[in-house]
Structure 1
């Protein structure tokens, strides 16, 4: 596992901790199903994945991350 992979998964862990693990997965699946009906890559367009992919190279991101950052832009 590379440091980028580790950081990507650490971002998901932060998302899970603030939403609760079960609620995170419920929202994740609901958003994925919604994105399947839209154009583009459903997986890459999930808000949780967008946040993780956009910030996986920033080793300081988790120290600066605001709560519910997956929905902020």
Structure 2
């Protein structure tokens, strides 16, 4: 479900940002890098959810056109 992808992506972005900031504050470059990577993965998941929504909407539109 696209909503699950979006929510999972938002969660990953929040966790990633927390790790990134924590790494900056403590000077831990590895944690900072992991946080950035996790945030990027979260954005990708969220965009994937958007694409799935758009594809679903398009499929519904095609079904409606075929019914006419």
TM-score, normalising length from structure 1?
Answer: 0.31
* Larger Rg, first or second structure (1 or 2): 2
**If each structure's helix is expressed as a fraction of its own residues, which one has the higher value?**
2
TM-score, with structure 2 as normaliser: 0.33
